[in-house]
Structure 1
Amino acid sequence: MKSSSAAVTAKSIVFRSLLISLITLSHSAVGASDDRPNIIVFYTDDHGHADLSCQGVLDDIKTPNVDALAKNGVLARHGYSTAPQCIPSRAGLLVGKFQSKFGVEANGSSLVGFDNETTIAERLQSAGYVTAQFGKWHLGRGEEITEHGFKHVFNQNNGGKFAANIELNGKDREMGIVPPKAYHIDACSQAAAAIIDRYQDDPFFLYVAYRAPHVPLDAPRKYLDRFPSKMPERRRQALAMLSAVDDGVGLITETLAKHNLTEKTLIFYIGDNGAPLKIHKLDAPGGGPGWDGSLNDPLNGEKGMLSEGGMHVPFVISWPGTISAGQVFDHPISALDVAATVAELAKVESKPGDLDGVNLIPFLSGRKEGAPHEFLAWRWVAQSAIREGDWKLLRGGEREYLYNLKSDLEEQNNLLDQHPEIADRLRERLSRWASQLDPPGLAYGAMSAPANDYFDFYLEGKPAPPLREKYQPKSESKPKNIASRWIIRGGTMKDTSEGLQIAPPKPGGKQTPFIARNGLSLVGPVSISMVLKTEASGQIGLSWRSSADKDFAAANRVNVAVEKSDQWQTIQAKLPVEAKIIHVRIQVPTGTTLIKSIELKPATGKTVTLVQ
């Protein structure tokens, strides 16, 4: 009995060895004359439709490198994400199947369904591609990204520690949590360029998912300085973060050109959903939740809606030499098309039902005419929608709207009563499609209070709901009495309706005042964000004392340059201390400085607002 079992085992080993040898030979043969393209997917975060300069909507945005992709390829005027929210849209993109078919309906949904699906990275890895992920993941733990088909991981998406198994220079390291060495957008771009350098002779798939311009808004001064005009600070931050993204696109495309890979690389640039506006587009201090500064113009609505403003996103495709340059493609396409396109180009086998998208290359290269899709459909919680040609049916709870997007892209005129037969046809088609989802149906749950507010305001034309009391503008007659919580040295301090005003003791004096605050308990390292304006250029000095320090040490200081301006400017820095910070000092330049907000974000625990 044992000898028989051993014989079977031996045969199995021999069979597996032969199979591996055949696969290796097959991949070697492909590699010897590999005409399959490299693939790069740039995926931005809460990036409004208006915010590429090649869209021609607004003139304050500057994205010359993404514009170059469009000039050398295709600007898709009607490109869509799969959801108006981060997690489901990313799940759909990476699997290539509408995410509600495997249970990832919305943020907060179980990721078990996603974990059981085969990602496009897994398919490409099995076909001999080198695969790498950079930036935001949002589909589970960073250390587990390799389980979804990515050989290399550089999961930095903020100023904190992150998961990685490569260094900034593309060299291998053991998977683990590492501290940042550069601004997250720049770091992802540098690491991606390094991987191109490393694998220039191999087919590769890079998923570069910048966390921009998603909050917290954190652009460094060098990017903010590119936008000196008068504008809301959150708008300036969004433009600056997108400028950093554009620089990254430029670095990566230059690296491709350096290795003569431009015509061998297919590039997608797509937003994950529309920009959040919170209706009011409140220019609140700091970089926390709310409007991210991006804009969806001229589309109606915002993130969290299946109106055009929620999921009609920036969408550019470039493959010089294969796709004709300078195209504007007006047929609707979907982020789901990425996986279907890539799978076919990479000669990856898939079964019917594996992928929901369409290979776009025949349509973009002129081999096929017409629209790639008969229709596109969506479901997100209590909302569902279908677009068939120029017609779109949108449902939200019990509400229903019919729009002709050719004449009314802004979704201002509900034609439901004028064309009930079109609405009936679209509703029936949408219902058939929704019966395939898990669970089936046109809705997954009830409309939330914010969703109802959005539909009231954007689609019904009702007045905006009032701001919550905490966001109401403060009156001069009700000072915030912030000054009483600070100690001032070398100057004077008073509360104003705009913020904390700090001035030298005498007008024109040369002293540089500082304010101090004790009684803190912040686990380091601590990130600090300040919104201010000052009458004098100079430096903001940020000093701290930890629980281990008896006094302020000279080494415990960070300086940040500020410019004389009557406009609000945001400065950000990190206080590099591992111990608990208990005491801070903030030194300002000579002249009068007005501070609107100070936020301290510890390594763990809640952000502390010291001025608001």
Structure 2
Amino acid sequence: MHGRDRSTKFVKFFLLGLWGGFLVLPSFLHAADKPNVIVIFTDDHGYADLSCQGMVEDIRTPNIDKLAKGGVRMTSGYVTAPQCVPSRGGLLTGKYQNRFGLEANKLPLDGFDQEQTLADRLKEADYATGMIGKWHLGPSAYIVRHGFDDVFYQDGSWANFDVEGNDVPPGRKKPTLYHIDAGSQAACAFIDRHHEEPFFLYLAYRAPHVPLDATQKYLKRFPGEMPERRRKALAMISAVDDGVGQILASLQQYEIEENTLIFFIGDNGAPLKIHKEDAPGGGPGWDGSLNTPMNGEKGMLTEGGIRVPFVVYWKGTIPAGQVYEHPVISLDVAATAVSSAGLPEDSELDGVNLLPYLKGENKAAPHDHLVWRWVAQSAIRQGKWKYLQGGERDYLFDLSVDPEETKNLIGEQPELAGQLRDLLKEETQRFDPPGLATDEMSQVWELYFDFYLDGKPAPPLKPQTRVRRRNKQ
């Protein structure tokens, strides 16, 4: 063969190879541009109970603290409801759950069943999707209908993969591990299965929600005198924190930590039941968690019911060490994830893409206002002002100086309160059904408002539960 022929052939092969490379390269780059998304959702986890919050001295969460130190800790991070089911519905759809009739626990899930979840959306961008832990939005066997391909429900009692990362026949399984440890191991197994492709993992720990069932491994980390329910809550949160450490180690093992966006959020405030009674056992009642310094508890639209632990981490993308004071909400998770995955903006989503704000590209507040409605209670926050209504009572607070909601300013600022109420009423017209309330205040909620907002004495404990008196913390 002549030299010229060899050279021509070489050039042809080179050009073919280069062309082939261009055909492959965009796909590779597109995959690399899509961050993994992990959402860790805890259960009845009070605002005080991360050590990085600096509110109480007995909590120890070194791994979650690493997320906060390496990312952003939100001081005004909210969820959409003070109760499990509606809060989860809002998070997973990125829409106010009131828009599709998911007002509270124990209501029909027909509206939610028709909604597109974040998992559904990310599958359109070729994400692997996994759900681990507490569901609370219908039968466990139906989780796969909501966009989740890999499922490890609760402690594995319904699953289609195991903690070793193997596929298993979908269905009920006999749990073999403590549920928090099982969830953590399943999360690491999910990462093992999908570390070479973009993935979305929703990890919903049932902790520190009752029953308080911490194992001795975690209980012994918290010796000394304290209410036993507090000890059990600290132990369960410590188990969650271990899981966060294991997940970070898995991401580092596969060198994908810098391509993974992590949210850590509580689903609502802790249930204190006013008295924080240290009742024996770990059943219904105070779960041992604390909302300090926020006022109120689960089942209220006060800050103690809806302002929660909220951390965002994306190494190398979100600047580390931030403490972010502007209000954000769990609805922002979907909007942020959808944008990060390169999907088109969707006006149906009620949240905001937080990345421009957390990266310092936009100095404004992400939201002009946030609204809530939960059965007989409704609220709006605009800037530093919060208007709250419960039945026939209403309140106005300046959260910049009174995050504990101790001074009702409605008598001093009636015009401002009226403007906020009008805006709240306008916003709730989008809800199903529309309006500021869907029912009357229950006796329990009236007692909560009496005690936490109107300064009335705590109601007496029922004689049958008066075993140990409340913790003074």
Deviation at 1:473, TM superposition (A): 4.2
CA distance in 2 between counterparts of 1:235 and 1:27 reads 55
d(CA) in 2 for partners of 1:317, 1:472:
41
How many angstroms apart in 1 are the aligned matches of 2:50 and 2:183? 20
> CA-to-partner distance for each residue in 1:189-239, whole Å, 9 max, x for gaps?
111111111211100000000000000000000100000021000000000
Q: Distance in 2 between matches of 1:401 and 1:57?
A: 26
- 2:329 alignment partner AA: S
SS of the equivalent of 1:212 reads strand
Counterpart position of 2:309: 314
Query: Could you tell me how far apart the structure 1 residues matched to 2:137 and 2:146 are?
Result: 10
* SS of residue matched to 1:386: strand
2:358 matched to 1:364? yes
Q: Which amino acid aligns with 1:76?
A: M
Distance 1:64 1:473, change over 3 A: closer
Q: Which amino acid aligns with 1:114?
A: F
Show CA shifts across 1:303-328 (max 9, x none): 00000000100000000111000000
Q: CA deviation at 1:152?
A: 0.2
Distance 1:197 1:473 in 2: 47
Contact 1:80–1:334 under 8 Å retained in 2:
yes
What is the CA distance between 1:468 and its match in structure 2?
1.3
Instruction: Give the letter for the 2:441 counterpart.
Output: M
Q: Which residue of 1 aligns with 2:435?
A: 441
Residue 132 of structure 1 aligns to a residue whose secondary structure is strand
Give the TM-score taking structure 2 as reference length. Answer: 0.93
CA distance in 2, matches of 1:386, 1:155: 35
Query: What is residue 426 of structure 1 aligned with on the other side?
Result: 420
* Residues 1:396 and 2:390 are matched in the alignment: yes
**Aligned counterpart, 1:98:** 96
Shift of 1:27: 11
C-alpha displacement of 1:446 = 0.4
Q: Give the count of matched residue pairs.
A: 447
Matches within 5 A, 1:447-526: 447-473=441-467
Aligned to 2:238: 243
- Aligned-pair CA distance for 1:30: 3.6
Give a deviation string over 1:99-130, Cα, whole Å, max 9, x none: 00000000011100000000000011121000
Deviation digits for residues 72-91 of structure 1 (CA, Å, limit 9, x no counterpart): 00000000010000000000
Letter in 1 for 2:140: G
- Deviation, structure 1 residue 469: 2.2
Q: Deviations over 1:152-196 (max 9, x none)?
A: 000025xxx721000111211111000112111111111111111
Tell me the distance in 2 between the aligned counterparts of 1:348 and 1:112: 27
- 1:330 and 2:325 matched: yes
Does 2:82 match 1:84? Answer: yes
User: Are 1:343 and 2:338 matched, yes or no?
Assistant: yes
Q: Is 1:178 the equivalent of 2:178?
A: no
* Pairing 1:387–2:381 present: yes
CA distance in 1, matches of 2:161, 2:25: 26
Give 5+ residue unaligned stretches, structure 2.
1-22
- Could you list the per-position Cα deviations for residues 410-462 of structure 1 after superposition, in whole angstroms to 9, with x for gaps in the alignment? 00000000011110110011010011100000011000011000000000010
- 1:131–1:205 Cα contact (<8 Å) kept: yes
Q: Which has the higher contact order (CA 8 A, sep 6+)?
A: 2
Amino acid at match of 1:389: G
CA contact (8 A) 2:354 2:366 kept: yes
Indicate if the aligned counterparts of 1:142 and 1:162 stay in contact, CA closer than 8 A: no
What are the within-5 Å matches in structure 2 for residues 205-220 of structure 1? 205-220=200-215
Q: Distance in 2 between matches of 1:192 and 1:69?
A: 17
Structure-1 residue corresponding to 2:11: none
SS in 2 for 1:298: coil
Residues 502-542 of structure 1 deviation map (CA, whole Å, 9 limit, x = unaligned):
xxxxxxxxxxxxxxxxxxxxxxxxxxxxxxxxxxxxxxxxx
Residues 125-154 of structure 1, C-alpha deviation per residue, up to 9 Å, x if partnerless? 121000000000000011110000001000
User: Which amino acid counterpart does residue 356 of structure 1 have in structure 2?
Assistant: D
User: CA 1:32–1:321 in 2, change beyond 3 Å: closer, same or farther?
Assistant: closer
Specify the SS of the correspondent of 2:208: coil
Which structure 1 residue ranges, 5 or more long, are not aligned?
1-25, 475-497, 499-612
> Where does residue 227 of structure 2 map in the other structure?
232
Give the corresponding residue for 2:43.
45
- CA shift, 1:470, in A, is 1.1
> In 2 relative to 1, CA 327–265 (structure 1 residues): closer, same or farther, beyond 3 Å?
same
Question: How far 1:351 sits from its partner (Å)?
Answer: 3.7
Match of 1:223 among 211, 218, 226: 218
Aligned counterparts, 1:55-134, within 5 A: 55-134=53-132
Say which SS state the counterpart of residue 210 (structure 1) adopts: strand
Matched with 2:142 is 144
> 1:191 corresponds to which residue?
186
1:350 offset after TM fit, Å? 5.0
Distance in 2, Cα, partners of 1:473 & 1:249: 36
The structure with the greater share of residues assigned to helix is: 2
Q: Identify the range of structure 1 (115-124 vs 194-203) with the bigger mean alpha-carbon deviation.
A: 194-203
In structure 2, what residue type is equivalent to 1:429? L
**Residue by residue, what CA displacement relative to the aligned partner does 1:35-90 show, whole Å, maximum 9, x if unpaired?**
11000000000000000000000010000000000000000000001000000000
**Residues 170, 192 of structure 1: 8 Å contact kept:** no
Q: 1:373 aligns with which of 367, 373, 376?
A: 367
Aligned to 2:4: none
Residues 27 and 128, structure 1, Cα contact 8 Å, conserved in 2: no
Q: Distance in 2 between matches of 1:447 and 1:187?
A: 39
The 2-side partners of 1:60 and 1:309 are apart by 19
Matched, 1:156 2:154: yes
Asked whether the 8 Å contact 1:89–1:272 carries over to 2, the reply is yes
Deviation of the 1:349 alpha carbon: 3.1
Shift of 1:330: 0.2
Other structure's SS at 2:300 match = coil
Identity of aligned residues (%): 59
Deviations 1:364-394 (A, max 9, x none): 0011111000000000000000000000000
Deviation at 1:29, TM superposition (A): 4.6
Contact 2:117 2:146 in 1 (8 A): yes
The 2-side partners of 1:399 and 1:58 are apart by 32
TM-score by length of 1: 0.72
Distance of 1:307 and 1:427 partners within structure 2: 16
Q: In the alignment, which of 285, 289, 293 is matched to residue 290 of structure 1?
A: 285
Contact 1:156 1:180 in 2 (8 A): no
2:162 alignment partner in structure 1: 167
SS at match of 1:93: helix
